[in-house]
Amino acid sequence: MLNWSNNTAEALIGLDRKPSELTTLAEVIGKHATPESVILAWWDTSRQIQLLTGRNTLFKTPLYEPLIVPALWQESQKAILNYEQQMVTEKASETEREQFKQFSEALLLPPEEGVKRLRSLVKPGQETLLVVHVTDLYKIGLMHPEKFGVAYKNFPMTGNIHGMINHMKVQLKEHGYTTYTPQSITDNDIRVFFLTDEKSTQTLLAHMLPFTGRDPPTELKVAQLVYQQRRVLGL
């Protein structure tokens, strides 16, 4: 299902994003990545890129990290994961799982250290593209809640942009959040991701995304920004 709409405010299985984003990303990858390049992205994004572009990705099988389920389903996580794994014929190797663990942990490091860790996952000198999406913030927070603080809230899309910004600032003040970045999920709604502490803002992932009051990704010195819709960077 490419255009399924979640009409609740809670993440269900996956995180909402527009199909047009993936189409554009595939075009960008096709333009900038050579057949010899390797693409680093979250496992589900990696599989989509590989399917649409034929380019080489480090992660090729369903890893289900993290497993995203509603709060009411939390007690059934193991059963849900078991069912999901039974539905696929491709099984992830221990090597791939360890590489994905290293990948996710690299995104939590300061930029220079994080890029160094990511480079260790590919062949020396191999051209590498790193693809991140704003929804990766939530995923990394679920995987590493002790290392990365993130929250989100949905807002209706209105013509009053200043009013929307004021609502976001209220959230910052009421909860003590440090910064935020919005995501357009439908033509009528946006989802705003908030970082809950200063430590989280200093991670490689946070530096690669456009947060209010922070240096833009174009200022990142350890990687070259290739495209800005999702954030594709050359390492």
Please give the pLDDT value at position 5: 52
- And the tokens for 85? 């794994």
- Go through the chain and tell me how many residues it has: 235
Three-state DSSP state, 7: coil
Among 132, 114, 126, which Cα is nearest to 33's?
A: 126
- Dist CA 178 CA 33 (whole Å): 35
Q: Whole-prediction pTM value?
A: 0.85
- Dist CA 32 CA 126 (whole Å): 14
Please give the pLDDT value at position 99: 97
Three-state DSSP state, 39: strand
Chain centroid to Cα 127, Å, comes to 21
Maximum pairwise Cα distance, the chain: 50
Block means of pLDDT (10 residues each) for the chain, length 235 residues? Answer: 49 63 89 92 94 94 84 78 73 92 97 96 94 94 96 84 82 94 86 95 96 89 78 51
Please give the pLDDT value at position 6: 53
Burial of 50 (0-12, 13-18, 19+ CB in 10 A): middle
Q: Is the separation of the CB atoms in 33 and 129 below 8 Å?
A: yes
